[in-house]
Chains A and B, each alone.
Chain A
Amino acid sequence: MLISNLEIVPGRKIVQHLGLVQGSTVRAKHIGRDIMASFKNVFGGELKGYTELLQEAREEATQRMLEQARAVGANAVLNVRFSTSSVAQGAAEMFVYGSAVVLE
């Protein structure tokens, strides 16, 4: 399944526009990562634990969006946008949405 944040796909024609598909997930860190993060607050540097956590969350959100796209019969998702928001202390919501289309 093609994912792109362009509105068109060069050289291919869009046959059907199937509307909005979205994927989201809310993930929490666990106590171990939190403790490491507090240490890093003193010494500085990349919080690898959190980086991994958010990346995994984004992957999962993207997978959910693709699941919705398959369910409506699309073969590509264009105009993809990502959004992150903090919805609870220590948890972040990853939101991906785009336009499901059928390319010929």
Chain B
Amino acid sequence: MELIVVLILLMLGYGFGRLAENSHYRSIRQREQQYSHLLLIPERRLPDYPHVPQTALVAGNVVISVDYFKRFIAALRNLIGGRMTSYESLLDRGRREAILRMKINAHRKGAEAVFNVKLETASISKGRGGSIGSVEVYAYGTAIIPPHQLDHGTSYVGIP
């Protein structure tokens, strides 16, 4: 019976989804601690630096997929209305991960702060029936590099 298939998929989605989410959150918190010295300022005006710094555009992006359990809950929510808490946690993870990757890229360039941080969210691969398959978050900003710490072209960090 297809009800059994649905139940199995739900359990798989729930189990593996929770596992992935919890371990991802742990990793995010740990890295946020690690990179907390690199400042994030969403403003365009720079402070008056004693030495003129170098600037570079840095960005970080991540695509996170929705699991079956979250999609099922979203379909039910569509009937009743209200806040979709299952997707809220997904997007929160996505944003924090994207910002972290931007910071890591900035760090690799030797920056001490990232200014004018902006974020973009988009849905990728709408699944069957129009429900979303995955969400992409892109964070970008201008890294401020103190003059005596130039790097020489390290590769872009997609996966830390």
Contact = CB atoms under 8 A, between A and B. Distances in A.
Q: Does a CB–CB distance below 8 Å link A and B in the complex?
A: yes
B84 A28 contact: yes
A87 B126 CA distance: 9
Interface range on chain B: under 10, 10 to 19, 20 to 34, or 35 or more?
A: 35 or more
A85 B43 contact: no
A51 interface: no
Given A30-B78, A83-B121, A97-B119, A91 B84 contact: yes
Given A87-B87, A99-B41, A27 B123 contact: no
Given A22-B95, A88-B132, A83 B120 contact: yes
B135 to A, nearest CB: 6
Given A20-B40, A93-B87, A88 B74 contact: yes
A55 interface: no
A19 interface: yes
Interface of B is mostly: mixed
B82 A28 contact: yes
Interface of A: 7-8, 17, 19-20, 22, 24-34, 60, 78-79, 81, 83, 85-91, 93, 95, 97-99
Interface of B: 39-45, 66, 71, 74, 77-85, 87-88, 90-92, 95, 99, 117-123, 126, 129-132, 135
Q: Which 6 A-B pairs have the closest CB atoms?
A: A30-B81, A89-B130, A85-B121, A28-B77, A26-B87, A26-B84
